[in-house]
Structure 1
Amino acid sequence: MTDAVKPDGGADNPGGADLRRSTARAPGTRAVRPRHAASLIVWRKGSGEPEILMGVRHAKHKFMPSVLVFPGGRVDRADHGVKALSELRPETLALLAHRAPPSLARALGVAAIRELIEETGLLLGEKQGDRLLADLSSLDYLCRAVTPPMRAMRFNARFLVAPAEAVRGEIHGSGELEKLGWYSLSAAREALLADITRRILEEFEQYVALAPSERHRRPKIVFRGNDNRMSDE
């Protein structure tokens, strides 16, 4: 990794906003509107348990340094309406669009895949010159999480899932994430994690235990407040 990382570079990653008290908003100020964001859980079968692609935020970041996270970040304006290699499957689109218009639902998928290549070098789709054509059909929906109102930086983050066999390329970081690699569930839990990341790992473990045909029928779940698991129906 390079040392030329901006101190707050990548602060848009939605995982771990609960780790720093300095992110609390000033008393008497209005709650910040959550930014739409997406994280991608790329996973593969390990020898004994699933392994997930994760990385550690650079130690020089002022915002949650040295924390293990999934690739992810906020939705950019450019994520809307771009061409894709494939579209979201109907069940995934329906889950993403449950609390978002269809255009945003699609942009969330694009953002997750864009952040994957930016932060890990891995491609879920194709590149045509500098343009990314996202393979949206490979995405499953897991859940969402909304940062508490008292935080100065807030996200309405959707957590998406993709199988490792749909991804190609070699892992190489951009400098935002160090120690990029495949972490077993046990190894991930032993690392420095934000509380919400730990809860998402629990949610993923329930997801992966189901038959593939049943995964999209899971109850809709949102984490609110101090990572309280609630129905999102």
Structure 2
Amino acid sequence: MTPPDDTVIRDAATVILWQHGPSGPEVLMGQRGSSAAFMPDKFVFPGGAIDAGDVAVSLRGLPDPTCLRRLAIESDAALVPALLAGAIREVWEETGLILGRPGNWTAPTPDWESFAATGHAPSAENFTYVFRAITPPGRTRRFDARFFLVPAGAVRGDASDFSRACDELRHLQWIPLTEVRRFDLPFITTVVLAELAPLIGRSGQPASVPFCRNDDVISGITRLG
């Protein structure tokens, strides 16, 4: 058996959509399929790897300068817009929800054609950068994932209408923060949730962004200021 190639680390983006629910804040999650190569059956936030075409996407709205500056720390600054675009695309593909502004534009690649057909251009103006994590060595896939907190009010249309979602995530649902740990979550998601709770509902960017670099979660976390 060929061992997993843990030398290839792909840039990725994850979006934590949240809203106020009857019992407090809720986050949007779905369950990965049983046959998925990465984190099968786990409940996760929408997200995935950045595609080559994401680099060519022009955003109609950007986060504040602090967010943009932190995304460029220990990264190629030219990658920052692609991280934001990829996050928007993944939300569209996996949930059918639109993060954008009304407007016509030409999709640079086929992956963006269905989004452009909705009559919206992608916008990341409501994004807050809250976490970064690299998948530990030895896993079947490795990602350098940036996590963004986004209010459900940024969604165009009904934030509970998942009718246009692909089948990558099952059981899409808004889960109260008080109940989310009852689900089968990846370990890194529980770490992110611990950092997330104090940030929901606050305005502005956090004081710093935790960066989990490897499989040693205690000594591997630094802060991006």
Q: TM-score range by the shorter chain?
A: 0.7 to 0.9
Distance in 2, matches of 1:158 and 1:62, equals 20
- Give the counterpart letter for 2:223 in structure 1: D
Residues 204 and 57 (structure 1 numbering): CA distance in 2 closer, same or farther, change over 3 Å?
A: same
3-state SS of paired residue (1:203): helix
Indicate which of 143, 149, 155 corresponds to 2:131. Answer: 143
Indicate which of 183, 204, 227 corresponds to 2:196. Answer: 204
3-state SS of paired residue (2:26): strand
Aligned partner of 1:70 in structure 2 is 45
Alignment pair present for 1:220 and 2:209: yes
Paired residues of 2:25 and 2:176 also in contact (CA < 8 A): yes
Supply the RMSD in Å over aligned alpha carbons.
2.3
Any gaps of 5 or more consecutive residues in structure 1?
1-21
Distance in 2, matches of 1:150 and 1:62, equals 13
Any gaps of 5 or more consecutive residues in structure 2?
107-112
Cα deviation code 1:41-79 (max 9, x no counterpart): 010112332100111112343543321000000011111
- For normalisation by structure 2, the TM-score amounts to 0.82
Distance in 2, matches of 1:197 and 1:37, equals 15
Distance in 2, matches of 1:58 and 1:201, equals 22
Residues 179 and 36 (structure 1 numbering): CA distance in 2 closer, same or farther, change over 3 Å?
A: same
* Larger CA deviation: 178-187 vs 155-164: 178-187
Alignment pair present for 1:191 and 2:180: no
How many residues matched? 205
Report matched runs for 1:11-50 at 5 Å: 26=3, 31-50=6-25
Residue 31 of structure 1, CA deviation: 4.2
- Give the counterpart letter for 1:52 in structure 2: V
- Identity across the alignment (%): 34
Paired residues of 2:38 and 2:140 also in contact (CA < 8 A): no
Distance in 1, matches of 2:69 and 2:24, equals 29
Residues 63 and 219 (structure 1 numbering): CA distance in 2 closer, same or farther, change over 3 Å?
A: closer
